[in-house]
Amino acid sequence: MTSPLPQIAQEWQIADARLPDVSPAVSIFGSARLPVTAPEYALAERVARRLSDAGFAVLSGGGPSIMEAANKGAHAGKSAAVGLNIALPHEQHPNPYQDLSLQFQYFASRKSAFVRYSQAFVVFAGGLGTLDELFDTLAQMQTRKVPAKPIILVGSAFWQGLLDWLDMQLVARGLIRAEDLDLLTLLDDEDEIVAAVQEALDDPEITGVVVTHGTDSMEETAIAVDTFHSDSRPVVFTGAQKPSNHPEADGPENLFDAIVIAADDSARDIGCLIVFNHAVIPARGAVKWHTSDNLAFATNGPEEPTRPDPILPHPLAGIQVDIIPAYAGAPRTLIDAAVAAGSQGLVIEAMGAGNVGREMALGVADALDQGIPVIITTRVPRGEVHGSYGGAGGGATLAAKGALGSTYFRAAQARVLLAIALATGHHPATLF
């Protein structure tokens, strides 16, 4: 029997000669059997196009279905569409969207080319071939034969069961380490996210950090991280408005956009960002403005907000800051209850440019007399808080008593900034 080793070596040599010219590159793995009408096909095509336009060559297996979609999207973009084809008795036939087509006889040399010449991997639904590519890549990273690189699994409805099984069987029995599955981590707690970001940035090879986060409280976590963030490298927050099994799921595209921005040198030295529906929004002044629209976030701040000097990270757990809404005829009851319950700071969501009624103003004054800092923000979606009115509850009167206006920050972010000030001993005025 003739040894395959000479041909495998020859295939390695061809890959080494041709593929360095298409760097940086992202590999897209996925099924050869899904129809072109499958939602995964359209999504893979869109993702590949955006990656290509962002300067990434796209590598696929060169065949039909998801591989074709990947090459098709990249071919229509600005970067190369590359197919690493392999001879198979069925399923595999080269798709017509390859700018560079390499032919392999052996899986070993083909998979080696994917791993060596890709900076990230995107894995769609697929069968045994896709699983083989995924696990071969994972194994090489786990055993440190190659550096760790991002691996993105697209579609929780398809992948979650597998991840659960890996955790319950392999991790639980000690067959792999738990950290072997930490390819993408979702955190909601502000302190944990701040710590995770700092840990990631300890690695000098990291060019930026992407944080996937639920949209309900994203603006709060983002402002916390921004205030503690002292590194030039960007921290980018993103998430999704639609679930992964939705035919128009927005999560994958948001994630790719976030990765592209995080890797861009132009995003350095500007702090934390929120990337959503192709919009890039500074963390300072960001607000979730819509419950269901794909463009979930907007900004009430300036286009390039001035950031205060960063503060050393500090836990916020245990710092009680309460948000009190104002409305016509609102009593002081909620203020008194918050103070009695141990509130260390208050954010008053006032009316207009920062005004409250007479009775609530008396509650604010009493809280200030007790040494409790008070931030005045507004329920109005746009504009800044400014104390222009006199009278018992006017913004000017409240400011004269010691209340601090939130400028362009709304209640959610104002609460976080006041908590940081209290936790670190900084005067609140230095953070707004």
Question: Residue 86 is part of which domain span?
Answer: 5-181
Both 94 and 164 in a single domain? yes
341-371: b (≥16 Cβ within 10 Å) or e: eebbbbbbbbbbbbbbbeebbbbbbebbeee
Both 264 and 402 in a single domain? no
Q: Are 199 and 185 in contact (CB under 8 A)?
A: no
| pLDDT, position 191 | 62
| Locus of tokens 């132009």 | 266
User: For residue 93, is it within any domain?
Assistant: yes
User: For residue 234, is it within any domain?
Assistant: yes
| pLDDT, position 157 | 75
Cα–Cα distance for residue pair 180/172, rounded to 1 Å: 13
- The CATH number of the domain holding residue 83 is 3.40.50.450
Tokens of 206: 């990291």
| pLDDT, position 94 | 85
State how far Cα 395 lies from the chain centre: 37
Residues in the chain, how many? Answer: 432
User: For residue 402, is it within any domain?
Assistant: yes
| pLDDT, position 186 | 36
163-183: b (≥16 Cβ within 10 Å) or e: eeebeeeeeeeeebeeeeeeb
Both 30 and 149 in a single domain? yes
**Residue type (1 letter), 414:** A
Both 177 and 200 in a single domain? no
Q: Name the phi and psi angles at 162, rounded to 5.
A: -65, -45
* Residues 128-168: tens digit of each pLDDT: 999 999 988 888 888 888 777 778 888 777 887 788 888 89
Provide the whole-model pTM. 0.58
Cα–Cα distance for residue pair 199/201, rounded to 1 Å: 5
Both 54 and 173 in a single domain? yes
User: For residue 309, is it within any domain?
Assistant: no
User: For residue 237, is it within any domain?
Assistant: yes
Domain boundary residue, one of 181, 201, 218: 181
Tokens of 373: 């800092």
Question: Mean pLDDT in each 10-residue stretch from start to end of the chain (432 residues)?
Answer: 66 82 87 91 86 85 94 92 83 84 87 86 90 88 80 80 86 84 50 57 79 91 92 91 85 89 89 94 95 93 89 85 94 95 95 91 93 95 85 84 93 96 92 92
User: For residue 273, is it within any domain?
Assistant: yes
| pLDDT, position 187 | 39
Cα–Cα distance for residue pair 69/67, rounded to 1 Å: 5
Both 20 and 86 in a single domain? yes
CA-to-CA dists, residue 121 to 137, 153, 255, 345, angstroms = 9, 8, 13, 46
Both 58 and 164 in a single domain? yes
CA-to-CA dists, residue 262 to 6, 27, 52, 322, angstroms = 42, 19, 16, 33
Both 249 and 110 in a single domain? no
Identify the three-state secondary structure at position 228: helix
Domain boundary residue, one of 299, 333, 365: 299
Q: Name the phi and psi angles at 261, rounded to 5.
A: -65, -45
- The CATH number of the domain holding residue 226 is 3.40.50.1170
Q: Give the CA angle between residues 164, 169, 175 to the nearest 5°.
A: 125
Domain count, the chain: 3
| pLDDT, position 407 | 94
Domain boundary residue, one of 135, 150, 181: 181
Which residues does 243 contact at the CB level (< 8 Å), separation at least 6?
A: 156, 249
Both 52 and 171 in a single domain? yes
* Residues 31-41: tens digit of each pLDDT: 999 999 998 89
Tokens of 136: 């071969």
**Residue type (1 letter), 93:** H
Both 175 and 56 in a single domain? yes
Both 267 and 380 in a single domain? no
